[in-house]
Structure 1
Amino acid sequence: MKNKVVILGSNYYIGLSAIRCLGVHGIHTVAADYSEENRYGAKSKYCSEKIIVPHYQKDPGKFIFTLIEYAKKQDKKPVLIPCHDSYLEVIDAHLDKIREYYLIPQTEQGLYSTVMNKETLHKLAEENGVNVPETLNTDEKNLHKKVKDTIKFPCLVKPVDSPSFVKEFRKKLFEVHSIEEMEEKIELAKNANLEVIIQRIIPGFDDHMYTFDTYLNQESKVTHWTTGNKFRQYPINFGASVFTIQKHVPELYEIGARFLENIKYKGFAEIEFKKDAESGEYYLIEINARITNFNSLLYKVGLNFPYITYRELIGDPVEPKTVEHNTNTAFWYVFEDVLAVKNYIKTKQLSFPGVIKTLFRPKAYAIWDWKDPKPAFSFTFMMLGKFFNRAVK
């Protein structure tokens, strides 16, 4: 009997891609969600089992208890793969307890939260000589003067805790253009009990966004990696990737591998960088400490990170591998890219012919798969239902 893999969050395409990446190798995948609603990833033919667990935020104690009770019934320790930041926060808070029953790459409790938290991540990066955008706390003395002199407008009002901010405001940050607007957004976050920081915008269009995607073994050494280049995001300019290509950028390995190894990180990580259009320097923006949204692209170019994670944790690691050439392959989340392109064209940041040119290359889709079509059909019906309900209202 092989170790099972419990995947948290099949109501989003990250969970779906993890299920597929493991299922193709005949591994027993368990989709764990808090509701039957919208869990289109569990429709995959590669999903072996479905379970319902308490909501990770409404009752985190019961959520952890239920996961542990499930693991106790298994012949071997299951591998646990959270596919959303909010799941990862709860797992990290109870890491010492849950590691008794699950195989999880990270062994240091609190490290996941440290790299996910914008404030602590920036301090860690600065301590290790990694560039980060100039940032101010909202309680700084002479804040207005410092913003005008150092940060300058437009600038960003960013959350310290991204998952909670996104849940509250349905966006990753606020872009502000004046002191008055900045104070308004700070107050908005304060009223929602959310901590924010003020940050300089690194110059450059969305195609100046890059990623370093990697796996570090239990000795905190990089064993697998590649790099990517974002083309389009949604929401535009400060959103999640909807069209990204694999592109070899060796400088990102030099920066990213050294940093992650220095902080003794273990498991999968994706560092997002932005290349300053004026200086050419790379700035660390954030770290995704769970499987990334363009995991299907990484799989297509030869790096199956959920499977790499599984094999190492069961004591049978796969050979190290890197993709150090340009494959010309793109990740494409069609649904949100259509929305993004509409806004890029509306704001005259892109032209329609220019967008079309980017599509002529091999693609890895967020949801669609000819060999596993049911999740895409389920997603389509789900979205049609939402549009219909809005129209009725």
Structure 2
Amino acid sequence: MDSRFAGKKILLLDGLTSQCLEYTKAFNGLGCDTTVLCDDRFDTCYASKHPKHKILGVSNVRDLKGTEEWILKLVKSGEYDVVIPFTEYSATILSHHKKELSTYAHLIVNDQDVFDYAQDKNNVMKVCMENDLPCPMTIYDAKSVDDILASNIKFPIILKPSHGFGSHGFHKIGTKEELAACVEKFDIDVSEMVVQEYIPQEGLNVADNLFVDKEGNTKSAFTYASYRFYPIDGGSGVLNETIDRKDIHDISTQLVKKMGLHGPVGVDMIIDARDDTPKVLEVNLRPIACAKLGFLSGINTAQQIMEDLYADEVTPMQQYKTGIRVRRSQIDWMWFIKSPNRFKTKPSWFDRRNTVDQLFSWSDPGPWFAFFIYGFRKFLRER
């Protein structure tokens, strides 16, 4: 317990997410009074013993209006000192209402103008290209197929939405003829897309996760690599490991400073296997799903958040343990069933050294089983 923060009331949104659970435990360790907003009794945090208080309301991407109403109601109650989001949609809601809601609580989110600018992947690419930070070559002002063809970009290229996350709307295009056909078939508005060179997938997907204080100083960062993904063709990482790459940290530190970001920030990159250069793909303006890696490797971002709000100085935490792995076991099983490389992957699927499960613990097994049931119900709905 930290006497500086004992009794501070923390509202954690998005109780479905695994990072919400990790931050709940970390805030509890500081002596804070934690409340989580959940959408379902099978949400990760609702099934856990760790939250001091649980609210069953609306918190999901399928009902953004209802989610917004619940968030506004809870923050305006004045019962909480700090509010922290863990998904893009709840972070967007908080950011867009920050001026109004900041009279009630500290919101761990960037101001709306900064937030909206950074959420546009084209803007991120523009900042990188204007400041010689490595990223895929991007045509960030294309309005039509003709604009793309008139540029000097080489095929293959990719088209992906400039806003949003995941692989939805992602298209790999090999030729000029395929480009015109794809845009017509899917009725794509080119001005709403990121148009950039295709980076061969032989390299690692990596991310640098930073905490930037209110003065704009990076006070901590840890880097991890993702070795397996599900869905295989563009899903989330199911085995992630902390690594040491100073070049990745240097790039991300420069980027967040150029963009004026603060708080928890994740910078996603891909290693271009052709020259071993990490290239920026996007930024995440919230705690990321692999937050557990940070806590296990020695970086307590929850403490840094509270120090940034209530203390004179934020404790620097630049050193972290490498070789720590976190595995999403249920989804990794799906990867094993579906992947043709199940016996060839490195690290081996059977290698459990230095590996901790994303959700399971003997002292609090509920979240693991809740996530399993949640996933099975989702599978049945989408059949």
Fold match by TM threshold 0.5: yes
Q: CA deviation at 1:317?
A: 5.2
CA distance, structure 1, for counterparts of residue 68 and residue 367 of structure 2: 31
Give CA deviations for 1:301-344 in whole Å, capped at 9, x if unaligned.
111223321332233655211125x5311121112223334444
Pairing 1:160–2:152 present? no
CA distance, structure 2, for counterparts of residue 120 and residue 303 of structure 1: 29
Give CA deviations for 1:42-81 in whole Å, capped at 9, x if unaligned.
22111111224556622576345313322x2x2xx52111
Q: Which residue of 2 aligns with 1:329?
A: 324
Q: Which residue of 1 aligns with 2:222?
A: 226
CA distance, structure 2, for counterparts of residue 293 and residue 162 of structure 1: 16
Which deviates the most, 216-225 or 3-12? 3-12
CA distance, structure 1, for counterparts of residue 290 and residue 26 of structure 2: 12
CA distance, structure 2, for counterparts of residue 301 and residue 84 of structure 1: 23
Map 1:76-87 to 2 at 5 A.
Answer: 77-87=80-90
Pairing 1:41–2:45 present? yes
CA distance, structure 2, for counterparts of residue 87 and residue 238 of structure 1: 23
> What TM-score do the two structures reach when normalised by structure 2?
0.86
Q: Which residue of 2 aligns with 1:239?
A: 235
Give CA deviations for 1:70-127 in whole Å, capped at 9, x if unaligned.
2x2x2xx521111101111121212211222221345533212222221121122223
Residues 272 and 279 of structure 2 are in contact (CA less than 8 Å); yes or no, is this contact kept in structure 1?
A: yes
CA distance, structure 2, for counterparts of residue 126 and residue 109 of structure 1: 23
Q: Which residue of 2 aligns with 1:254?
A: 250
CA distance, structure 2, for counterparts of residue 141 and residue 389 of structure 1: 37
CA distance, structure 1, for counterparts of residue 200 and residue 43 of structure 2: 38
Q: Which residue of 2 aligns with 1:4?
A: 9
Give CA deviations for 1:253-299 in whole Å, capped at 9, x if unaligned.
22211221233221111111222111222211111111111111111
CA distance, structure 2, for counterparts of residue 234 and residue 386 of structure 1: 15
Give CA deviations for 1:13-35 in whole Å, capped at 9, x if unaligned.
232222223233332211113x3
CA distance, structure 2, for counterparts of residue 66 and residue 193 of structure 1: 38
Q: CA deviation at 1:141?
A: 5.9
Q: Which residue of 2 aligns with 1:127?
A: 130
Secondary structure of the residue that 2:45 maps to in structure 1? helix
Map 1:31-180 to 2 at 5 A.
Answer: 31-33=36-38, 35-54=39-58, 57-59=64-66, 62-70=69-77, 72=78, 74=79, 77-106=80-109, 108-136=111-139, 139-140=143-144, 142-143=146-147, 145-146=149-150, 150-153=153-156, 155-163=157-165, 171=168, 173-179=170-176
Judged with a 3 Å threshold, the aligned counterparts in structure 2 of structure 1 residues 132 and 310 are, in CA distance, closer, same or farther, namely same
The residue type equivalent to 2:328 in the other structure is: Y
Match of 2:366 among 362, 366, 374: 374
Residues 240 and 327 of structure 2 are in contact (CA less than 8 Å); yes or no, is this contact kept in structure 1?
A: yes
Judged with a 3 Å threshold, the aligned counterparts in structure 2 of structure 1 residues 342 and 60 are, in CA distance, closer, same or farther, namely closer
Secondary structure of the residue that 2:153 maps to in structure 1? helix
CA distance, structure 2, for counterparts of residue 186 and residue 269 of structure 1: 33
Judged with a 3 Å threshold, the aligned counterparts in structure 2 of structure 1 residues 187 and 342 are, in CA distance, closer, same or farther, namely farther
The residue type equivalent to 1:159 in the other structure is: P
The residue type equivalent to 1:338 in the other structure is: W
Judged with a 3 Å threshold, the aligned counterparts in structure 2 of structure 1 residues 180 and 5 are, in CA distance, closer, same or farther, namely farther
Which deviates the most, 228-237 or 312-321? 312-321
CA distance, structure 1, for counterparts of residue 218 and residue 134 of structure 2: 21
Residues 207 and 267 of structure 2 are in contact (CA less than 8 Å); yes or no, is this contact kept in structure 1?
A: yes
Judged with a 3 Å threshold, the aligned counterparts in structure 2 of structure 1 residues 295 and 142 are, in CA distance, closer, same or farther, namely same
CA distance, structure 1, for counterparts of residue 90 and residue 184 of structure 2: 28
CA distance, structure 1, for counterparts of residue 91 and residue 230 of structure 2: 23
The residue type equivalent to 1:20 in the other structure is: K
Task: Choose between structure 1 and 2: higher helix proportion.
Answer: 1
Match of 1:14 among 4, 10, 19: 19
Judged with a 3 Å threshold, the aligned counterparts in structure 2 of structure 1 residues 194 and 142 are, in CA distance, closer, same or farther, namely closer
Secondary structure of the residue that 1:43 maps to in structure 2? coil
Residues 211 and 227 of structure 1 are in contact (CA less than 8 Å); yes or no, is this contact kept in structure 2?
A: yes
Pairing 1:214–2:175 present? no
Secondary structure of the residue that 2:112 maps to in structure 1? coil
How much is the aligned-residue C-alpha RMSD, in angstroms?
Answer: 3.0
Judged with a 3 Å threshold, the aligned counterparts in structure 2 of structure 1 residues 371 and 175 are, in CA distance, closer, same or farther, namely farther
Judged with a 3 Å threshold, the aligned counterparts in structure 2 of structure 1 residues 297 and 61 are, in CA distance, closer, same or farther, namely closer
Residues 368 and 375 of structure 1 are in contact (CA less than 8 Å); yes or no, is this contact kept in structure 2?
A: yes
Secondary structure of the residue that 2:106 maps to in structure 1? coil
Q: Which residue of 2 aligns with 1:195?
A: 192
> What TM-score do the two structures reach when normalised by structure 1?
0.84
Match of 1:351 among 340, 343, 350: 343
Judged with a 3 Å threshold, the aligned counterparts in structure 2 of structure 1 residues 307 and 241 are, in CA distance, closer, same or farther, namely farther
Instruction: Provide the aligned length of Structure 1 versus Structure 2.
Output: 374
The residue type equivalent to 2:26 in the other structure is: C
The residue type equivalent to 2:29 in the other structure is: V
The unaligned stretches of length 5 or more in structure 1 are none
